[in-house]
Structure 1
Amino acid sequence: MEAESMDHIFLQCSFAEELWLFFSGCFNVVWKKLDSMADFLQWWKRKLKIVCCKEVWALGLITVADHIWRERNNRRHEGKVRPINFIKQMILEDIKSSKPSTKGDVKIAVDVICCRKLGLLIQNKPTLPILEVYWRRPQVNWIKLNFDGSSMGNPGRAGASGIFRNHMGAVMDSYKIFIGVSKVFQAEVEGLMVGLMRAREMGITRLWVETDSSAVAISFEKKKTHGDGSIWCPLSFEALLCARRLGISRIQYKPKEIIEVFWCPPPPGWVMLNSNGCSLVNPGKAGAGGILRNVMAERWMSLALYLQSLTWKITHCLREANPVVDFLAKSAAKFEVSTPIVSGQR
């Protein structure tokens, strides 16, 4: 009588070996006879990386071992011996009843044969509709600006680029700039602002701006809605709000001499903090706030005036429709170069 051990019951006896050989053969995997359960489990784990139906392969380890143990108990304690072909069929039925997923696993003919041997239904991924993506020309007398930004690390070395084309698709102007270490959103915004400054120099009066960054498109559209692009509340609104909280129903306003008041941007490399505090009664409910701005704020304020003087729109496109500026922005970030590239006549 053969010695009974875990290695003998599940691996070394002829009955167990035939079941493992049958199951691995369904996957077109050559069965390797091993002496210990530890080595067997490592071998099974390695094969999991290469077989087609991975979920079924992992499930088979438990299912086959379970039937081996049941047959051992039936023979030892009840004296019943079941035909091995019947046990093979029961293994397949148990796996099929668990409804394992084969979605995305069937790619070649060998995978189809594997599913047929296991009696599994092939679950294909839903076919996605083909979407045609292309660059759209602007209307006659319009100029289209496509821009992009890239950051190698986010934050990391960043670049921005843009290209101007007319209704014939001819390139009117293009640029790429290296902007140092920055995040991708800042690089996208820089590409937009440089493009708008170029458009102002070119005297463009009808401009179509297009980007593959939905975040920049949404932010810029909000600037358009607000008119001047300001992000702070006027003092008159704050005064009316405070008066309402104090229960004041009428406010008498006496006009004074008109004095030009404007915000002065900081020098390049500096950041300006504007802060203020308010107390409703003094002492009373109080609050404070502040805003940090750099020299970019001045650029936007000047560009906002330019945008008010022309007809323009901004749209979002898929990345596949923006390949030229994507390449230019990445090359500017990678090689740390800024190059005006002009083609055609302005």
Structure 2
Amino acid sequence: MDHIFWNCGKIRPIWKEFLDWFNHGHDTHNSDIMSMLVAAWGYSFSSQVASYWKAGIINLIWAIWMQRNCCIFEDGKFEAKRILHSVKVAFREMDQNFSLSSMNNNCEDLIILRKIGIKGCASPPSDFINVYWWPPPNQWIKVNTDGSALGAPGKIVAGGDFRDNHSLVRGCFHVKGDLGYAFEAELLAVITAIQIAHHRNWYYLWVESDSTYIVSLLTTRSLTVPWRFLASWRRVIALLENFTLHITHIYREGNKAVDIMASNNMEEGWWPAEIEAIKDVVRLDISTHSHLRMIH
């Protein structure tokens, strides 16, 4: 296979030209076709260029196979230009028959698309929304939570902060867990938050998270959680009978204080007041400062 599709002296120049179209000529240094394919499938392109990149590789392998069969069984002449031409024909057919996604609006994508004879489809301009953190009503406590995992899986960490109707921090925490995934870190954060709220008799509780997973679990009281958290989660569900609960989602841009509390370099612990690390973000929230979120 490596000789037929990759290492043959007549095939290598074809691949080099094809890869040059997409600015990846260095990939001809791979020793075998599978190494190249594994690397190629991991490359990051805009959605439009990625479609032609993957389709081009598949079409090129097919065209090489058909050209070799032509030489062996029909006494045909090996023509590298015919192989590359057939790939560009396939690109034009894609362009005419499929509605592909957009390119990145930069020179690199434009040059690639011009090399393969395709007109670029420009990305629409980005739009922005304002994201605000709002304080809870009088006599309520609001807790924002967040979690992270460095790797997949990685060491999970979680954090949260509690604030009153004056936006003043009544406490914040950071906890660490075992290896896991980001959604498990988010779960650890909200379990810890509800346990703390119960211990401190904060029964009018507004829980806010940037995780739709957590919002869904709390809203439905679902038990669909990883088994190692199931016992803790059942206890939390039982505790919720004591609470008057409000549950909302917030975009990450408005959840910056607990994003800091859930960072890996924090020490584990509970603090009954605002800490220096989140001071600036809390001041912005108090002033109802809006955080911009880019949407497409």
Corresponding residue SS for 1:175: strand
Q: Deviations over 1:256-276 (max 9, x none)?
A: xxxxxxxxxxxxxxxxxxxxx
Is 1:324 aligned to residue 263 of structure 2? no
Q: 1:210 aligns with which of 187, 208, 211?
A: 208
Corresponding residue SS for 2:131: coil
CA distance in 2, matches of 1:90, 1:149: 52
CA distance in 1, matches of 2:239, 2:149: 26
Cα separation, partners in 2 of 1:124 and 1:294, compared to 1, 3 Å: closer
RMSD of aligned C-alpha atoms? 5.4
Is 1:174 aligned to residue 166 of structure 2? no
Higher helix share: 2
CA distance in 2, matches of 1:186, 1:114: 46
Structure 1's consecutive aligned runs of 4 or more residues displaced over 6 angstroms after TM superposition are: 31-34, 71-74, 81-87, 125-128, 153-157, 179-182, 292-295
| 2:191 corresponding residue in structure 1 | 189
Cα separation, partners in 2 of 1:155 and 1:190, compared to 1, 3 Å: farther
Shift in Å, 1:176:
1.5
| 2:160 corresponding residue in structure 1 | 161
| 2:144 corresponding residue in structure 1 | 147
TM-score, with structure 2 as normaliser? 0.54
The residue type paired with residue 324 of structure 1 is A
Q: Deviations over 1:200-225 (max 9, x none)?
A: 4xxx9x764433355554565568xx
Q: 1:315 aligns with which of 234, 245, 248?
A: 248
| 1:60 corresponding residue in structure 2 | 60
| 1:246 corresponding residue in structure 2 | none
Q: Unaligned 5+ residue runs, structure 2?
A: 222-230, 280-296
Shift in Å, 1:324:
1.2
| 1:97 corresponding residue in structure 2 | 93
CA distance in 2, matches of 1:216, 1:146: 13
TM-score, with structure 1 as normaliser? 0.48
What percent identity do the matched residue pairs reach?
16
Q: Deviations over 1:80-100 (max 9, x none)?
A: x89987776455224433569
CA distance in 2, matches of 1:12, 1:218: 58
Q: Deviations over 1:23-42 (max 9, x none)?
A: 455345659999xxx95746
The residue type paired with residue 188 of structure 1 is V
| Pairing of 1:1-346 with structure 2 (within 5 A) | 11-12=8-9, 23-28=18-23, 39=31, 41=33, 45=37, 48=40, 53-55=52-54, 56-64=56-64, 66-67=66-67, 70=70, 76=75, 89-97=85-93, 103=101, 108-122=106-120, 129-138=127-136, 141=138, 143-148=140-145, 150=147, 159-167=158-166, 169=167, 171-176=168-173, 178=175, 184=185, 185-195=187-197, 197-198=199-200, 200=202, 208-214=206-212, 216-217=214-215, 300=239, 304=242, 307=243, 313-330=246-263, 335-342=267-274
Q: Unaligned 5+ residue runs, structure 1?
A: 1-5, 224-291
The residue type paired with residue 92 of structure 1 is K
CA distance in 2, matches of 1:83, 1:156: 55
Count of residue pairs brought into register by the alignment: 246
- Contact persistence 1:20–1:64 (CA under 8 A): no
